[in-house]
Structure formats: structure tokens, C-alpha cells
Amino acid sequence: MSTPSHVAAHVHAPPQGFLRKYIFSTDHKVIGIQYYLLALVAVFVGLVLSLLMRWKLAWPNDPVPWFGDGPMLPEQYLALVTMHGTIMVFFVLTTAPQSGFGNYFLPIQIGAADMAFPVINMLSFWTTFVSFLVMVAAFFVAGGAPISGWTGYAPLSAVGEIAGPGLGLGQTLWIVSIAIFCAASLMGALNFIATTIDLRARGLSLMRMPLTVWAWFITAILALLAFGVLLAAGLLLLLDRVAGTSFFVPGGLVFTDKPVPHQGGSPLLWQHLFWFFGHPEVYIAILPSMGMASHLLSTFSRKPIFGYRAMVYAMGAIGFLGFCVWGHHMFASGMSPYSAMAFSVLTMSIGVPSAIKTFNWIGTLWGGQIRFTTAMLFAIGFVSLFVTGGLSGLFLAQPPVDQPLHDTYFVVAHFHLIMGVAAIFGIFGATYYWFPKMFGRFLNEGLGKLHFWITFAGVYLIFVPMHLMGFFGQPRRYAEGTAVQFLSAMQGPQQFITVAALVTGAAQLIFLFNFLWSLKWGRKAEAINPWRSTSLEWTIPSPPPHDNFGGRQPVVYHGPYEYSVPGAPEDFIPQDAPPRTAPATGD
């Protein structure tokens, strides 16, 4: 009864106190898994929505499953666009890498028994859960889900159902859900930051923190500063809708011959407030995956991360610059060319820390003894997608280039690769890496590699053609273009992309099967450190006991990436290994 493998088999067994232990638990590990499972449900909902859109785009006049006998209506398509974007950005990309893995592993990697405020932690999960229910409820109310996009641009989102289906109760639910999500994220961010500052183990100086911890920490700072702004914007939008104020609704608007009784509001004000949140949100989605990819690249190259300090400073720079560039989403909204130039220069300057990170990732791989585990493949895939998606950002950062490309498929391709798929690859890599620690069993590597290769090829087949279609002027958010000559010429690529998306989407079922099957029948993680990693979670049993370190208070003597150290007995030195002769410098 005393080996880790038995824990894997029995730790979930006690039925007593189920509610407190697994539902309303204050244990950061349970909460991390709850967040992960919520994101897992959300990602499949979002995936199905995107496949329905793809179906409509490829065969616009054919019936679409669940949408009746006739073709899908344009407003139904826009509702799918809105809900796909919203669910993916908030309930997947913000939830899984930060709240899921961060909750589970940040306390352990810093040698703590839990988060600083466990009850607030529990509240932030359940608040997020309520937010998700409210969001999904928008599908089922009169008028259906909103059609104003995940950016909720005013005045479309502000004037109510007069502006279109879904803009009545559906839009109100959308705003309420986002507001609840903001509150949840603020509680989570507060917890992450306080935990990192105050609960680190003895010896764990800032420059000995794993890059995962740095990424979660910086992401939490971004969330703390950004979500309050979105909450304020959402409050004003809600008042415009229900209380007759005119923050965002301009005067003189007429919908289907009916004048809207508002005056003088500014749609641009909504855009400024939204994107002041929205751009940092992009980094909230991608930074944790940067940290996790760095961690995996070092571990599976058996080499120290190349330029650890530069990696930390680069993440800090990306986080800081992320607050200075929101205007690049608004080049086409009517902006002074001088402002646009400032936003453009600041945006392109993000290329510098991004290039530093990419250089260092490749430097880490260079000359390493690379182990191509599934986790490593996804980490390398992350770097590939980050570069591909990042390069198109340099095009869009320039106002003269952005003008023709704005609102085309080029933008869709750009943000899906850099923010969506790259972040998802970070999540997948982390899942394959940490699954044995979380559940005491391995995911199947064969299925994992199959999943990786189909997904990796699939996302390029989906999104590379979109860049070209964007160059040819294919606008986004249009349900179909068959009636327009130059757009109808792109029906072939549309169908190609849809087939690629259906195959890639189906490949995710391999992952889902692997995940569920391995929970019960996966190979047992007999060793507590099967990947021979250095960070603290690999010094404790799988899954870890209630208080993580079993009453022990770990002391850290080493930096996080001491792999292949000359003279060391093994090719890795755990962070808490006592120094053999002289005290280790660690960093």
C-alpha cells in the first residue's frame, strides 16, 4: 500500500465527503483538474461550432446538421462565429493553460502546500463555471446567441434586439457571462500573484523559478490589470442596453425605419476599452504555453534552457508591451496616422522579445539529446506555430498593409495560428507531460504521436490557404460568397479547408479517447520522476498527497534547468538536491 502506484489506484476511492473533496474542494490540485475539465468540455463545444461554420462555408446551399432542412441562415452563422470565438478565448485559452495547469502546478513548483487563498481559489472556479453556464444559455433563449462577434462591437451589441436576432436576451447573457468571468479571473490572478510572491520555498529565488512559474506569474499580472477594464466596459455596455444611457451608441441611428433613442455615444470608446483588455488577453492566452513549451524543450533536450534570464525578461517585455499596442486592432476604425504610427512601432517592437524567445528555444534544442516524446513534439510544434503565426503579425502591424488585409481571412489565419493553435499545442504538450503526475498513469504515446501528426499537418492545411484567400480579399464573418464572382472563385479552397478541418477535428477524438482510456487503463507511472525532470513536482508521488510535500518543506538549491551538468552523477539535478560539495550557484 505504500507505492505511488497504489495511490494512483486508490486516492480517488473514498466516497465519504465527496462534495467537499471533489466538488467544492479548496485543494488547488482538484481545482486545477476542474478547470482543465471545464476547458475540455468547452473546447469540444467550440470545435463543433467551428466545424458547423466550415460546413456552411464549403457547401453554402446544403443543409447543415441541426440547422433544419434548408441552408443555414447568415444570422445563424454569425451566432456560431460569436460563440466559437467567445468560448475558445475565454473558456479554453484563458482557462486551461493558466487556471488549469497553473492551479495544479504553480504551488507545487514553488514548494508550497496550496495557493495563498484556497477558498478564493474555489470561488474563482465555481464563478467561472457559472459564467460558462450563462454563456451557453444564450443559445437557448428567444432569438438565440448574439451575432456581434467575440469583440461585441457597439452599437450592434448595445441597442438590443432591434438590431438583429440574438441581440436581445442572448447579448445580455453574453455580457453578464463575461462580467462574471472577469470577477472570477480577477480572483484567480490575485491568488496566483500572492502565492508566487509569498509562498516560495526556501532557496527558491525569483531567478530559480521554472519558466512555467514565470509565465503563470506574468500572465496573472496581465489578467489582474486587464479584466477590471473589461468589467468596466461591460458595465457601461449593459447600461446602454437596459438603462437607456448613451456611452457607446451614437445619435441618429435608425434600424429598419425605427430611430434609436440615443445620443452622442462613441462606438470607438467601446473599441478602445475592449482592446485595452483584448490585446493583453492575447498574451494571457499564449504566455503560459510559452512557459510550458520552454519547460518541455529543456527537459526533453536534456539541456539547460538557452538564456534563462533573457527568457524571463522577454516574457516581461511581451507582457508590458502588450498593454501599449491595443490600437493596432483599430487601424481601420479611423485613427490619426500619428497614433497609428506609434501603435505600429510599438507593435513591431514586440518582435524583439519574441525573436529572443524563438532564438533561445532553438538554441536549447541545438546540440541536445532530443527525446521525441509526444510532449516534446507538441512543444516543437508550438515553436513552429508561434513563428508562422508571428510573422504574419508583422504584416498586420503596419497600417498601410493592414488596411487591405483588415477583416480578411489573413487576419483569421494570423490569430488562429499564433493565439489559438499555438496555445493549444502548449496545452497538449503540457497534458502529455504532466498527465502521469496528475493521474498516476501515462497517456498512450502511440496514440499521442498519431494525434500530434494529424493535428500538426491539419492546422497548417487549414490556415495556410486562409492567408492566400485573405490576400485575394476573402472577407471574414461572411456566411457565403457564392453570389460574388471573385469570392465564388474561392469555393475550392473553402471546401479544401473544410475537409482539412473535419479531419483535424476528428483527430481530436483520438486525444479524447486517449485521455479517458488512460485515466483507467494507461500504463502506471511507477517512478515519481519518469521524465527525469528537475522541477519540484517530480520529487513527490503521483498523484501528489493532499499537502503536496507530505509535511516536508522543500529547500531549493538549484536552478530549474540543470540538465547534463558536467560531473553530476545523472544528467539532471533536481532543484531540491542538496549541494554535493560547494553550494550551487543555481542561476
Partner 1 sequence: MPTTVVEELDRAAVGTGGRGPDRRDGGDGDGAPRRAKPPTPRSAYFTGLVLGLAAIFMFFIALASAFVVRKGLGDDWRSFELPGLLWVNTVVLLASSLVVERARRLLRAQPAAGFGAWWSTGSLLGIAFLAGQVAAWRQLAAQGIFLATNPASSFFYVFTAAHGVHVLGGLAALGYVAARGAAHQQSTGNLSADLTAGYWHFLGVLWVGLLLLLTFGR
β-pair partners for 155: none
Label residue 342 exposed, middle or buried (CB < 10 Å: 0-12, 13-18, 19+). middle
Considering beta carbons, is residue 182 or 421 the nearer one to partner 1?
A: 182
Range 505-534, binding partner 1 (CB under 8 A):
528
**CA 23 to CA 20: how far, in whole Å?**
6
**CA 94 to CA 89: how far, in whole Å?**
6
Evaluate whether 328 touches 395 at the Cβ level (below 8 Å).
no
By CB under 8 A, residue 233 contacts partner 1:
yes
Range 274-303, binding partner 1 (CB under 8 A):
276
Considering beta carbons, is residue 27 or 402 the nearer one to partner 1?
A: 27
Residue at 416: amino acid letter:
H
Considering beta carbons, is residue 70 or 251 the nearer one to partner 1?
A: 251
**CA 443 to CA 517: how far, in whole Å?**
8
**CA 179 to CA 157: how far, in whole Å?**
15
Query: Contact with partner 1 (CB under 8 A): which of 66, 243, 254, 334?
Result: 243
Considering beta carbons, is residue 191 or 498 the nearer one to partner 1?
A: 191
Mark 257-276 with x for binding to partner 1 (rule: CB under 8 A) and - for no binding: ------xxxx-xx--xx--x
By CB under 8 A, residue 540 contacts partner 1:
yes
Considering beta carbons, is residue 63 or 550 the nearer one to partner 1?
A: 550
Range 29-88, binding partner 1 (CB under 8 A):
none
By CB under 8 A, residue 535 contacts partner 1:
no
Considering beta carbons, is residue 309 or 552 the nearer one to partner 1?
A: 552
Nearest Cα neighbor of 361 from 279, 420, 425 is 425
191: left (phi over 0), alpha (psi -120 to 50) or beta: alpha
Q: 145: which residues sit within 8 A by CB, 6+ positions away?
A: 79, 80, 82, 83, 138, 139, 166, 170, 174
Range 185-224, binding partner 1 (CB under 8 A):
186, 189-191, 193-195, 197-199, 224
In whole angstroms, the minimum distance from the beta carbon of 501 to partner 1 comes to: 37
In whole angstroms, the minimum distance from the beta carbon of 537 to partner 1 comes to: 13
Residue at 58: amino acid letter:
A
**CA 338 to CA 488: how far, in whole Å?**
38
By CB under 8 A, residue 246 contacts partner 1:
yes
By CB under 8 A, residue 235 contacts partner 1:
yes
Phi, psi of 71 (to 5 degrees): -70, 155
By CB under 8 A, residue 332 contacts partner 1:
no
Q: Which stretch binds partner 1 (CB under 8 A): 122-130, 297-305, 490-498, 549-557?
A: 549-557
In whole angstroms, the minimum distance from the beta carbon of 154 to partner 1 comes to: 12
Q: Which stretch binds partner 1 (CB under 8 A): 53-61, 109-117, 143-151, 360-368?
A: 109-117
Residue with cell 536549447: 364
Evaluate whether 166 touches 174 at the Cβ level (below 8 Å).
no
